[in-house]
Amino acid sequence: MIIESSIIRQAAKASGIGEEDLAVFL
């Protein structure tokens, strides 16, 4: 799961999504 979360964070940063929005996906 750690690897997947890191990939999601990178994708979010590239998309310009904030960490707060990431919590919704996680």
* pLDDT, position 18: 62
Instruction: Determine the pLDDT at residue 5.
Output: 82
Look-up of token digits 């990178």? 10
Residue 9, C-beta contacts closer than 8 angstroms, at least 6 positions apart? 19, 22
Mean pLDDT of 1-26: 71
Residue ranges of the alpha helices (H) in 1-26?
A: 2-15, 19-25
Tell me the C-alpha distance between 5 and 10, whole Å.
Answer: 9
pLDDT band at 8 (very low <50, low <70, confident <90, very high): confident
Model confidence band, residue 2 (pLDDT cutoffs 50, 70, 90): confident
